Copies of this chain bind each other. A is one copy, B any other.
Amino acid sequence: MPEIREIPVPVDAPAPLPEPDADDLRLETVLGALSDPLRLEIVQRLLLEREDFDHTCGWFGFDRPKSSLTHHFRALREAGVIRQRQYGLERRSHVRTDDLDARFPGLTTLVAAWTPPAD
């Protein structure tokens, strides 16, 4: 079983960008946001490989246009899967593990166990 890394929020972290409250998370919306291999990879790597509290989209090393990545990260934030904070010019993300585990127990484990498509 892959281990999900927990790193506490730094005391000087900026406020989160707008996002749904934990009580307002909807399973159908969260599943829709995760129904894409790139988004599953983003969430899985944030769960399993995080080195800091949150990470920029550059940290992932995706060979994709920045505008496309921005779209996917925003979709994950608006569904309530990730939390994003603005650090100056940089936007950093981490998974809302506590909120997802409270509302949808087992979901982060499913994402952590996901196998990327062979291609």
Contact = CB atoms under 8 A, between A and B. Distances in A.
Interface of A: 26-29, 31-32, 34-37, 40, 104-107, 109-111, 114, 117
* Count of identical protomers in the assembly: 2
Contacts of A27: 40, 110-111, 114
Contact of A35 (B32, B104, B105, B106): B32
B34 A117 contact: no
A31 B26 contact: no
A38 B74 CA distance: 25
Nearest to A34: B31
B40 A35 contact: no
Contacts of A117: 26, 28
